[in-house]
Amino acid sequence: CLWPVLPVAIAHGVVRAMPGTFAAGIGEIVAASLILFFMGHAVLLAVRHMADDLVVHRRGFRVFFSLTVGVLGIAVALTKIWDAPHGVMTAFGQVEAVLSFAIALSFALWALKARDDIFALPEAATPIGEAEQRIDTIAPEDRPIIARLKDEMARGRYREPGLTVGSLATIVGTTEHRLRRLINQGLGYRNFSCFLNEARINDAKGILSDPDESRRQIVQVAFDLGYGSIASFNRAFRDATGMSPTVFRRRELERA
């Protein structure tokens, strides 16, 4: 939420409107703080879900974006603070301007030839239980890994709390990078949470539809399936079915 920044922005405008060198200097410091905040927020958004991302080129873009925005944010903020006492753009400010232009130009040229898989909308994935339907698209040396992955998922490995791509790669006997590529390109999932959620939600639907499980609390179902909180389970379930677990259970039990 960016509401906490609003008072600072208003104060910045008031200070900039005040006459005097001191007020101008304070205004530049406040402006530099705002720049660092917004650029830091952009970097946080870029790296927050990087561990979950299965698209290799998009992960690389996240790193590139974070580094360039971070460097640019620091350069702009330092320039404002350095130039404030002088009232004009110094050599430091000119260097920052050239750096900003170079980064913007590089990004524009890169964007013209950006890969489709970086910004593409999600496509339907192949359920792990139906992986054989795409087995001909997977390299022969990768098929044993897909088979072991399918076997682990069938045994309920997805119920393990805190399961990561790295830990799952160790279990199936491959590298994290290779498993990311197989889940993404071989099965069509764009992030690891979608891969896990599909198995978990299918399991949850079976439990919630079973009259013998009608007294089992939904929060217990969530924890048994590997979710760390009821909120994350509710969100994933609603995204997959369009309704909450409670509504789904009521509907299915009425049909039984």
- Same domain? 94 vs 147: no
Question: 86 in a domain, yes or no?
Answer: yes
- Same domain? 153 vs 245: yes
- Same domain? 213 vs 147: yes
- Same domain? 155 vs 247: yes
Q: Report the C-alpha gap between 23 and 177 in whole angstroms.
A: 53
Q: Report the C-alpha gap between 29 and 140 in whole angstroms.
A: 60
- Same domain? 34 vs 106: yes
Question: 15 in a domain, yes or no?
Answer: yes
- Same domain? 111 vs 166: no
Average pLDDT for 117-134? 51
Average pLDDT for 76-98? 63
Structural domain of residue 78, as residue ranges? 5-117
Confidence of residue 106 (pLDDT cuts 50, 70, 90): confident
C-alpha dihedral, 110 to 111 to 117 to 118, nearest 10° = 90
Question: 123 in a domain, yes or no?
Answer: no
What's the pLDDT tens digit per position in 204-254?
999 999 999 999 999 999 999 999 999 999 999 999 999 999 999 999 999
C-alpha dihedral, 92 to 93 to 99 to 103, nearest 10° = 150
- Same domain? 100 vs 15: yes
Question: 124 in a domain, yes or no?
Answer: no
- Give residue 226's region: left, alpha or beta (phi > 0; psi -120 to 50): left
Question: 151 in a domain, yes or no?
Answer: yes
pLDDT at 246: 95
Q: Report the C-alpha gap between 150 and 131 in whole angstroms.
A: 8
Question: 62 in a domain, yes or no?
Answer: yes
pTM of this prediction? 0.60
* CATH label of the domain that carries residue 205: 1.10.10.60
pLDDT at 135: 56
Domain total in the chain: 2
